[in-house]
Amino acid sequence: MFDRTHDARVRAATFEWLSDQLVRHGDILPRQILAAGFMLDGVRVPLLGPQGIFKPRVLSEVPLSITTAPDGPYDDAFGTDGLLRYRYRGRDPIHPDNRGLRSAMEHRLPLVYLHGIAPSRYVATWPVFVVNDDPANLVFSVAVDDATYSKGIEGATAALAINDGDSARRAYITASVRVRLHQRVFRERVLAAYRHQCAFCRLRHVELLDAAHIVPDAAPEGEPVVRNGLALCALHHTAFDRFFIGLRPDYTIEVRDDIRKGRDGPTLVHAIQALHGNRIVLPRSESHKPDPKLVAMRYKMFQQIS
């Protein structure tokens, strides 16, 4: 028999633990931490396992999390309505894992969604709810809700987070999560391509590195792909975005004339002016090197401002 009170207690403890992990590790969590999980009443509660639909032993019927692999086709994860499409396990609608997600929908229970953005690295999103079941296409539709709606999920209030009828709120939050996942995937892939160092100054402290767009993401050509990215430290990212620094099509750094002639202390001299004429660090893979057409577009913008 389904014990709603026990189930809600496990989920509340999971959400609290995840919040603590984000404070400790940032919003990208290693698989080993998620697989180890936490202890609740002397019982270990892991958050993921070998399969995408995961139910720890502490729960009797309904899964705790759903996971997508880091090498999966990202755009296929969302439908035209903006909701996450999560595929059945296998092709059998009555497989225990599929029945478990169907039960989550029927009981209106919150889950954790773990999106793999790189090998063994995940963005955790919660609470998410199964809102539709499509056996013909072997997919569930999943919506993200505001984490504040999971605060009172214990006991009889477990269904409130999805029972308020505010589908517009969930659609908006799910769309926001989609954008955030794009950004995290872009950062991880760009930093990996540049071997986790600034392309301008070789700084290797990952905490201080960003993935900068060559052509801004607001432009039609500004896609979040590695060939439109540079791994830059926070200082050089800002300087690049503000056109203090340009990049020639031959991958040579050019410092704007007025900045190069400025007098403003050692940081300007050594961190920016000294870059003029240097070649950037490039990815080893030819397929990851900056797209020459995009670099030329960006350099034209730099020349217009200079």
Cis peptide before 127 (omega within 30 of 0): yes
Domains of the chain in sequence order: 4-187 (2.30.280), 196-305 (no CATH)
Q: Could you tell me which of 203, 230, 231, 208 has the C-alpha nearest to residue 290?
A: 230
**Strand, coil or helix: what is 247?**
strand
Q: What is the pLDDT of residue 252?
A: 98
Residue 301's φ and ψ, nearest 5 degrees, are: -60, -45
Q: pLDDT-derived band of residue 117, with 50, 70 and 90 as boundaries? A: confident
Beta pairing, strands 209-213 & 229-233 = antiparallel
SS3 content of the chain, % helix, strand, coil (to 5): 40, 20, 35
User: With left for phi above 0 and alpha for psi between -120 and 50, is residue 138 left, alpha or beta?
Assistant: left
72 CB-contact burial (10 Å; exposed 0-12 / middle 13-18 / buried 19+): middle
Mean pLDDT of 35-43: 96
Task: Give residue 108's region: left, alpha or beta (phi > 0; psi -120 to 50).
Answer: left
Residue 165 in contact with residue 143, Cβ under 8 Å? no
What is the average per-residue pLDDT within 111-137?
92
pLDDT in tens, 127-142: 999 999 999 999 999 9
For residue 161, name the pLDDT band (cuts at 50, 70, 90): very low
Q: Are 142 and 129 in contact (CB under 8 A)?
A: yes
The predicted pLDDT at position 166 comes to 61
End-to-end C-alpha distance for the chain, whole angstroms: 71
Q: Look at residue 264 in the predicted model and tell me its pLDDT.
A: 86
